[in-house]
């Protein structure tokens, strides 16, 4: 009996040492970056939460306060939009989000997503089809189900690209400021980069919920110079950065001038579109009768609800 007890105790001791060793290894895997980084406070943030996310230890909120006591007036209340400095931090997962109607998605959409992955060092790139984009209620559009399927075919060879169905699933008008506020609640250990087209750089600060957008994600601009503007694209980005204390980045990649409208027109006219979309996506389009004329599975956007007439476009 005594031998059995000793054996049992020895087993317990061995298991305890194993778990302690495993825990210490896991803890050592969390590497702090010993360089100064900045963070924009988001809705719902507090110092304990940020210490947990950024430093791996909620009790280190005092360190964050010491680094930022010139801008933190009350340790119990930090305001969204406040810029905090971290002298060390755990790298967050980085996700680029490319929004658009994707009606249909074409190879330049995919090329931009690939550039986002490369240039912004993202872990993933999400392609997020609009639910009801406020600026495109005047025409019919392929259903959310069909647009999601086309995206899946288009990105099948890119394991780091994902379809984000959030806006389609939510239904109603799509406002990215509100969306990213939710994303940060759902994925607190993530740094989001929202990618907009060059033309949107001239209107983004007029978008509904622009304040929520810049509080909850970083902004990246993709595209060429926009004709007819008083400022160059670089000047406009500099203006936004200085006016709103942002750090908008511009992608170096220059996409070709291809539009979904061009692809739809060619499909309607029976022309070859193999240089714009891959064969699997084309097979899906033909099998489901998309873009012939006005097929049954192409639906009109609902009328805009009262009070939402100030809505401006998001990306794409």
Q: List all residues 6 or more positions away from 148 whose beta carbon is below 8 Å from its beta carbon.
A: 129, 163, 165, 168
Q: What is the pLDDT of residues 69-109, one digit of tens each?
A: 999 989 998 998 899 999 999 988 999 999 999 999 999 99
Domain boundaries, the chain: 93-300
Token representation of residue 236: 């406009």
Tokens in use for 231? 């400022």
Distance CA 217, CA 235 (A): 21
Distance CA 226, CA 229 (A): 6
Q: What is the pLDDT of residues 159-197, one digit of tens each?
A: 999 999 999 998 878 789 999 999 998 998 899 999 999
pTM comes to: 0.78
More confident residue, 256 or 236: 236
Beta strands in 72-180 (DSSP E): 83-86, 93-100, 124-129, 140-142, 161-163
Say whether domain 93-300 belongs to CATH 3.40.50.620. Answer: yes
- Please, are residues 105 and 130 in contact by the beta-carbon 8 Å criterion? no
């Amino acid at each position: 009996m005594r031998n059995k007890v000793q054996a049992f105790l020895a087993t317990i001791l061995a298991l305890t040492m194993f778990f302690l060793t495993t825990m210490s290894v896991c803890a050592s895997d969390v590497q702090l970056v010993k360089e100064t980084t900045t963070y924009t406070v988001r809705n719902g943030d507090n110092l304990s939460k940020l210490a947990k996310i950024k430093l791996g230890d909620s009790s280190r909120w005092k360190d964050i306060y010491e680094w930022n006591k010139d801008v933190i007036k009350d340790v119990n209340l930090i305001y969204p939009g406040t810029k905090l400095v971290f002298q060390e931090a755990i790298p967050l997962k980085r996700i680029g989000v490319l929004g658009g109607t994707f009606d249909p998605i074409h190879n330049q959409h995919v090329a931009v997503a690939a550039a986002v992955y490369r240039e912004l060092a993202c872990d993933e790139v999400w392609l997020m089809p609009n639910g009801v984009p406020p600026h495109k209620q005047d025409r019919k559009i392929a259903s959310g189900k069909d647009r999601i399927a086309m995206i899946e075919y288009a990105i099948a060879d890119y394991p780091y690209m994902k379809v984000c169905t959030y806006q389609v699933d939510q239904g109603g008008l799509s406002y990215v400021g509100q969306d990213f506020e939710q994303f940060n609640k759902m994925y607190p250990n993530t740094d989001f980069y929202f990618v907009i087209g060059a033309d949107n750089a001239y209107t983004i600060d007029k978008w509904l919920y622009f304040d929520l957008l810049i509080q909850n994600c970083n902004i990246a601009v993709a595209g060429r110079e926009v004709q007819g503007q008083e400022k160059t694209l670089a000047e406009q980005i500099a203006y936004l950065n200085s006016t709103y204390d942002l750090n908008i980045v511009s992608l170096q990649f220059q996409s070709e001038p291809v539009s979904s409208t061009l692809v739809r027109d060619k499909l309607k006219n029976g022309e070859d579109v193999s240089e714009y979309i891959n064969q699997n996506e084309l097979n899906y389009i033909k099998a489901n009768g998309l873009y012939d004329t006005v097929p049954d599975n192409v639906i009109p956007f609902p009328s805009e609800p009262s009070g939402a007439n100030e809505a401006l476009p998001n990306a794409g």
